[in-house]
Amino acid sequence: MIPEMMADTFDRYVEKLGVPAPVRKMDVEAGDAVFVGDTHGALDVSAYALAVARNSSVVCFVGDLVDRGKNQLHNLLFVVESAIISGRVVIVRGNHESTLTNDYYGFSDELKSMGVFDLIYPHIVRLYGRLPYAFLLNSCVLAVHGGIASDLPSLADWESLPMDDPEPSNQGAFQILWNDPREYVDGFLPGTRGEGTYLFGPDAFSEFSQKNGIRFFVRAHEVKKAGYEYMFQGKLVSIFSSRYHKGKAALLRLSLEPDFRQEIMIVPDEGGPILWPNDPL
């Protein structure tokens, strides 16, 4: 009974997403947007993020909800159920929302230890294939898990990426989920995460941003001890939102007013009480 209820959650979100869109677009006139990086099973961080963002116009989870951490299935169910309840909760696909990684980094094992793998994993994989590769907010803020891709110079190219691709096996989509920015790289350089991954430098980033009218770029994918890192003269931020690496879990709040004011929020550490954002200290 319980596995069927979980499978139903994933199916309902697939249904709600409707026609699969590689780039999900949203226009919001006012307020702010909160971005959540890799949570990797950090259910407490996801819950905290939604609490912090309860007055925000949009909350975007920039991928990697599963693998590595302690409450992977619960984290995925929680965020997916939240996204069903509110269209203002957006989930972008990460490189761990993939059949390539789940066997190696723990999610398959967690599902097997619960005895639900065969029953619900097919539903989860179907959802992976429907998650957008990118979230485009107000036509000028782009959020992806990894970065830009060497063979997809225009966002129009991104919009024709194939969906329902469980790995994904499409090289461009794969790069969007796996690539990393580096200040000292010229153009694109093969990366060290494995075949088909690239590092991209400030010139490639600047070219892409100008061509596509991107003013601010949010991505996740890399462990940052401080929970975040700004690069490329402040036009790109990496945000990381779990603590399995013993560092900080951070969230980003971005004002949608013309000044694009940004605030990094560090999630309180485990062990201590987590205050509701407006609680008196």
Partner 1 sequence: MTWFCTKCGSQNEESESTCVVCGSGRISEMESQQGVMAEGQGSQQPAASPPPEQQPPPSPVSAHVEESPEESYLEFQFVQTPMESLMGKKVKINFSVFPSVSVGRSPENVMQIPDASVSRMHAKIMLDGGSYYLEDIGSSNGTFLYDGSKFVEIKEKTKIQEKSLVKFGEGTIVKVTSTRSV
Please give the residue ranges that form the binding site for partner 1 (CB under 8 A).
Answer: 182-185, 189-192, 199, 223-225, 244-247
Catalytic residues, which ones? 96
How many angstroms separate the CA atoms of 209 and 97, rounded? 26
Cβ 101 to partner 1 shortest distance, Å: 15
| Residue 129 vs 227, nearer CB to partner 1 | 227
How many angstroms separate the CA atoms of 144 and 24, rounded? 11
| Residue 190 vs 277, nearer CB to partner 1 | 190
| Residue 122 vs 190, nearer CB to partner 1 | 190
In the chain, which ranges are continuous DSSP H helix?
A: 2-17, 43-52, 72-85, 102-105, 107-113, 117-128, 155-159, 171-178, 202-212
Cβ 31 to partner 1 shortest distance, Å: 34
Cβ 184 to partner 1 shortest distance, Å: 5
| Residue 118 vs 183, nearer CB to partner 1 | 183
For 66-80, letters b (16+ CB in 10 Å) and e give bbbbebbbebbbbbb
Judge if the upstream peptide bond of residue 168 is cis by omega within 30 degrees of 0: yes
For 41-64, letters b (16+ CB in 10 Å) and e give bbbbbbebbbebbeebbbbbbbbb
Cβ 150 to partner 1 shortest distance, Å: 10
- 25 forms beta bridges with 136
Cβ 196 to partner 1 shortest distance, Å: 11
Report residue 91 as tokens: 């989930």
Give CA 25 to chain center in angstroms. 15
| Residue 116 vs 189, nearer CB to partner 1 | 189
Contact 221, 191 (CB under 8 A): no
Look at residues 170, 163, 141, 110 and name the one whose alpha carbon lies nearest to residue 26: 141
